[in-house]
């Protein structure tokens, strides 16, 4: 009698519970994907794909078809469904793919890759991205079905599903999704127990068999889930760092105002170069955000027209002076579908590819092409009202409904109170905004990339703004979003702009124009307010960065190029104070680099926390194996010969020793003694025990045995571990193969490691 016949369960037909459990666990692992791809019809297609593949596998196994046939049937279902959803126009009868159908796949995949590379999460899934997602989930469903239902290795499937669920969290860092984690953990525990029951089916258990093993295992799993949920919030969050990893990563623009991690990046690089015929280098905008939900500011979308159709002329009052400037931009390292341009653009020349303009905000976007390595010219017609004109204009947009003035419910009192307190005594909308700008830049607030993170308000929601106003420390996102909300509290239309600061001079000159270099750390956000007859006017509330907004009175002379001779301080605003204390000293200004962005000190805590988490994850297999070993030793001490023999087999597997189904207990025992250092007496006791119990009535593993079987199993393990080299001992402890490979299975036939053939 072989070892497999002695201890392995009887193979049964397809299991409904295991099939449904595998499908639902896969779907639980896919829930975090909604963080990356916005919900849409693609999710319904994904549900249909998973259901059909697992149903096809179940039906095929009902007819006792071999594993290869099951996989081929599932692949056929996968192909037909993809053809039905995405290739009907080129398929026979709408479901049978033709050569034209297959030729359409590479363009779809290329377009999907562009959507991923250029988009910002959550991505709006078009046809290409939907195709890629549904196809990939279908392949994953076939793999999980084979591993769980054919190979009966649910733990291996669990490792894959956990990895899949972690990918969205790595791609888009954020709060832990507790619901999806609990559902996935429950699904994995169910798969492990359901598969175990299929092995136990058909085996008559003795009344003396140890009870409560399932309850103990379930309890351990439940405790692990609870501990993970409770402990995760206590760990410091390691922010994703652009440019970090195994290879340098290009710069990009995230229009969702999640700029904190971009500004804290350890590697600064040049993003673009700019030169202009204006007297001052302009800010370069990429995206505008007008809708505020109370939690996030949303980028403006829709309303685009092809760029080649031209941009409309700026609409201002006839008496407002408008000056034309030309700005040349060279993208050095920036991959984005949002193009950095000066404002307000009326013409953009020199771009490669198809680009479109959003007329409401004069931003330029592309669905198919990226900004990297582009060189282009932007012509702007900049309104330059006098101080009297801007003071006489009302902050209104003049459209209905006006979402740029909407204020979420339950705005914190500190936002409302301070907005009214700071602007008390002002008589015009412009003066109120200048008072806000002066207050933010006047010395009470400090620029910091760390304080927001330390105080847990690294965001743009209402609570983040309230905490920012409490501690009076933050970075551009906090200044810009809070200023914009305060303007809305005062019933003025406002929005937030994401783009780049003007940069620093390189000392080079082209056609008489100075070339400025813009670095990745100069990614910036600022607010704008709309004035009737003038347009959107930018403000700069971020202390220590940029130039505060000012307008000159009509009495100030104008140069031939249309610029003011002495525009600074014309509105009576005082400049940001300059401290005489050296930077970095107590009470002095923050340490800044050449880009004007604060240099954050190195914080080893996130790295140590990540190392601790990795160490804990690496220890999980060893802990699970130790729990299983103790459970089997306890069963063996109660007289269960099957448990003692399984412990010997699994010890051999852990050390890379083959345990084939064709080998009898005596042959395996002889090989372990002769080639792998197992003590002869201990192995003889285990062989005798499994043989006697195998021939006992009803397979009674407790037949005629005592606690000596447990001692024999322990002695055999000690002897084999002592005889093995250090590498195999370490692998047996840290990466036990028996958690994934069952004794007697096709994966334990002797081809695992060199140790198996010794």
How would DSSP label each residue in 679-746?
-HHHHHHHHHHHHHHHTSGGG-TTTT--THHHHHHHHHHHHHHHHS-HHHHHHHHHS-GGGT--TTSG
Distance CA 546, CA 704 (A): 86
- Taking only the tens place, the pLDDT of each residue in 297-314 is 888 877 788 888 888 888
Answer whether 531's CB lies under 8 Å from 316's CB.
Answer: no
pLDDT higher than 80, residue 557: no
* E-state strands within 245-374: 270-276, 284-292, 297-299, 304-306, 322-331, 338-339, 345-349, 356-358, 363-365
For the chain, give the percent of residues with pLDDT over 90.
18
Comparing 213 with 653, the larger pLDDT belongs to: 653
Distance CA 711, CA 717 (A): 10
Model confidence at 753, in pLDDT bands (50, 70, 90)? very low
Model confidence at 581, in pLDDT bands (50, 70, 90)? very low
Structure confidence at residue 571 (pLDDT) = 38
- Classify the C-alpha dihedral 273-277-282-286 as positive or negative: negative
Structure confidence at residue 209 (pLDDT) = 41
- Taking only the tens place, the pLDDT of each residue in 177-223 is 677 777 887 888 777 777 666 555 444 444 334 434 444 444 445 54
Mean pLDDT of the region 655-661: 87
Which residue do the tokens 């806000």 mark? Answer: 436
Mean pLDDT of the region 439-466: 75
Structure confidence at residue 2 (pLDDT) = 43
Structure confidence at residue 609 (pLDDT) = 66
pLDDT higher than 90, residue 661: no
Interhelix angle 41-62/16-30, nearest 10 degrees: 160
Distance CA 370, CA 110 (A): 13
Sheet holding 284-292, edge to edge: 297-299, 284-292, 494-500, 523-531, 535-538
Distance CA 103, CA 693 (A): 62
Structure confidence at residue 440 (pLDDT) = 93
The radius of gyration of the chain's CA atoms, rounded to the nearest angstrom, is 34
Rounded to two decimals, the pTM is 0.50
Greatest mean pLDDT range, 255-269, 581-595, 717-731: 717-731
Mean pLDDT of the region 422-441: 93
Model confidence at 559, in pLDDT bands (50, 70, 90)? low
Structure confidence at residue 112 (pLDDT) = 79
**Between the CA of residue 526 and those of 185, 282, 497, 542, what are the distances in Å?**
43, 13, 5, 8
Structure confidence at residue 122 (pLDDT) = 65
Structure confidence at residue 118 (pLDDT) = 56
- With H, G, I as helix, E, B as strand and everything else as coil, classify residue 538: strand
Structure confidence at residue 51 (pLDDT) = 92
Contacts of 17 (CB under 8 A, 6+ apart): 194
Distance CA 480, CA 501 (A): 14
Structure confidence at residue 239 (pLDDT) = 40
Which of 157-166, 458-467, 573-582, 722-731 has the lowest average pLDDT?
573-582
Structure confidence at residue 421 (pLDDT) = 93
Structure confidence at residue 268 (pLDDT) = 73
Model confidence at 250, in pLDDT bands (50, 70, 90)? low
pLDDT higher than 50, residue 242: no
Distance CA 672, CA 709 (A): 17
Distance CA 337, CA 115 (A): 9
Structure confidence at residue 281 (pLDDT) = 87
Mean pLDDT of the region 264-280: 80
Structure confidence at residue 280 (pLDDT) = 86
Distance CA 329, CA 284 (A): 10
Structure confidence at residue 244 (pLDDT) = 33
Structure confidence at residue 706 (pLDDT) = 64
For the chain, give the percent of residues with pLDDT over 70.
73
Structure confidence at residue 636 (pLDDT) = 86
pLDDT higher than 80, residue 600: no
Structure confidence at residue 307 (pLDDT) = 83
**Between the CA of residue 16 and those of 22, 42, 94, what are the distances in Å?**
10, 27, 31
pLDDT higher than 70, residue 567: no
* Cα end-to-end span (Å), the chain: 24
Count CB atoms within 10 A of the CB of residue 94: 12
Answer whether 350's CB lies under 8 Å from 394's CB.
Answer: no
pLDDT higher than 60, residue 529: yes
- With H, G, I as helix, E, B as strand and everything else as coil, classify residue 749: coil
Residue 305's DSSP bridge partners are 357
- With H, G, I as helix, E, B as strand and everything else as coil, classify residue 205: coil
The overall average pLDDT reported for the chain is 77
Distance CA 426, CA 171 (A): 46
- Taking only the tens place, the pLDDT of each residue in 491-515 is 999 999 999 998 888 889 888 899 9
Phi, psi of 535 (to 5 degrees): 110, -165
pLDDT higher than 90, residue 443: no
pLDDT higher than 60, residue 712: yes
Q: Are strands 297-299 and 284-292 parallel, antiparallel or unpaired?
A: antiparallel
Residue 226 CA to its chain's centroid (Å): 23
**Between the CA of residue 264 and those of 15, 118, 245, 551, what are the distances in Å?**
52, 21, 15, 34
Structure confidence at residue 266 (pLDDT) = 52
């Amino acid at each position: 009698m072989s070892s497999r016949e002695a201890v392995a369960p009887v193979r049964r037909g397809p299991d409904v519970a295991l099939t449904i459990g595998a499908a639902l666990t896969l779907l639980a692992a896919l829930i975090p994907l909604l963080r990356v791809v916005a919900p849409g019809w693609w999710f319904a297609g994904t549900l249909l794909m998973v259901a059909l593949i697992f149903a096809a596998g179940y039906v095929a196994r009902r007819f006792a078809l071999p594993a290869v046939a099951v996989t081929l049937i599932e692949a056929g279902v996968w192909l037909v469904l993809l053809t039905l959803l995405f290739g009907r126009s080129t398929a026979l009868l709408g479901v049978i793919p033709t050569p034209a159908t297959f030729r359409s796949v590479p363009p779809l995949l290329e377009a999907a890759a562009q959507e991923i590379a250029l988009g910002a999460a959550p991505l709006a899934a078009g046809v290409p991205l939907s195709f890629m997602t549904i196809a990939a989930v279908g392949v994953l469903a076939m793999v999980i079905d084979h591993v769980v239902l054919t190979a009966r290795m649910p733990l291996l499937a669990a490792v894959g599903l956990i990895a899949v669920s972690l990918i969205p969290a790595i791609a888009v860092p954020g709060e832990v999704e507790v619901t999806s984690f609990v559902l996935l953990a429950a699904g994995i525990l169910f798969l492990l127990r359901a598969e175990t029951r299929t092995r136990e089916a058909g085996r008559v258990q003795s009344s003396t068999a140890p009870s409560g093993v399932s309850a103990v295992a379930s309890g351990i799993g439940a405790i692990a889930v609870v501990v993970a949920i409770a402990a995760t919030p206590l760990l410091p969050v390691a922010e994703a760092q652009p440019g970090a990893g195994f290879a340098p990563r290009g710069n990009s623009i995230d229009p969702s105002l999640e700029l904190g991690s971009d500004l804290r990046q350890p590697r600064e690089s040049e993003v673009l170069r700019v030169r202009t015929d204006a007297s001052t280098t302009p800010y370069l905008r990429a995206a505008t955000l007008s809708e505020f939900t109370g939690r996030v500011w949303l980028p403006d979308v829709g309303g685009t027209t092809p760029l080649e159709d031209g941009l409309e002329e700026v609409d201002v009052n006839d008496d407002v002076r408008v000056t034309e400037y030309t700005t040349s931009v060279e993208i050095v390292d920036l991959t984005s579908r949002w193009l950095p341009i000066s404002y307000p653009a009326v013409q953009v020349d020199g771009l490669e590819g198809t680009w479109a303009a959003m007329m409401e905000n004069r931003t330029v976007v592309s669905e198919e092409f990226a900004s990297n390595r582009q060189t282009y010219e932007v012509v702007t017609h900049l309104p330059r009202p006098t101080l009297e004109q801007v003071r006489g204009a009302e902050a209104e947009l003049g459209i209905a409904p006006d979402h740029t003035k909407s204020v979420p419910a339950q705005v914190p009192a500190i936002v409302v109170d301070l907005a009214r307190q700071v602007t008390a005594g002002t008589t015009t909308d412009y003066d109120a905004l200048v008072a806000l700008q002066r207050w933010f830049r006047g010395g009470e607030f400090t620029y910091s990339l760390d304080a927001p993170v330390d105080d847990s308000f690294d965001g743009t929601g209402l609570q983040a703004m309230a905490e920012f106003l409490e501690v009076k420390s933050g970075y551009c996102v906090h200044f810009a979003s809070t200023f914009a909300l305060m303007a809305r509290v005062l019933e003025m239309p406002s929005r937030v702009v994401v783009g780049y600061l003007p940069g620093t001079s390189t000392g080079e000159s082209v056609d008489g124009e100075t070339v400025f270099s813009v670095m990745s750390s100069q990614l910036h956000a600022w607010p704008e307010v709309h004035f009737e007859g003038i347009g959107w006017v930018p403000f700069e509330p971020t202390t220590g960065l940029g130039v505060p907004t000012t307008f000159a009175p009509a009495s100030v002379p104008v140069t031939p190029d249309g610029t003011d001779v002495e525009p600074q301080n014309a509105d009576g605003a005082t400049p940001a104070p300059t401290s005489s204390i050296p930077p970095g000293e107590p009470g002095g200004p923050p340490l800044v680099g050449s880009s004007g962005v604060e240099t954050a000190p190195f914080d080893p805590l996130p790295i140590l926390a990540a190392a601790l988490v990795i160490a804990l994850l690496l220890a999980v297999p060893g802990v699970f194996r130790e729990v299983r070993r103790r459970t089997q030793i306890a069963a063996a001490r109660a007289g269960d010969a099957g448990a003692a023999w399984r412990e010997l087999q699994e010890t051999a597997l852990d050390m890379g020793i083959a345990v084939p189904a064709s080998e009898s207990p005596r042959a395996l025992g002889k090989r372990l003694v002769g080639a792998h250092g197992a003590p002869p007496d201990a192995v003889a006791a285990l062989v005798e025990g499994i043989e006697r119990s195998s021939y006992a009535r009803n397979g009674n593993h407790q037949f005629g045995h005592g606690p000596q079987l447990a001692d024999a199993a322990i002695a055999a393990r000690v002897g084999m571990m002592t005889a093995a080299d250090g590498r195999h001992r370490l692998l047996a402890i840290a990466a036990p193969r028996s958690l994934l490979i069952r004794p007697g299975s096709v994966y334990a036939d002797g081809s695992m490691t060199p140790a198996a053939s010794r």
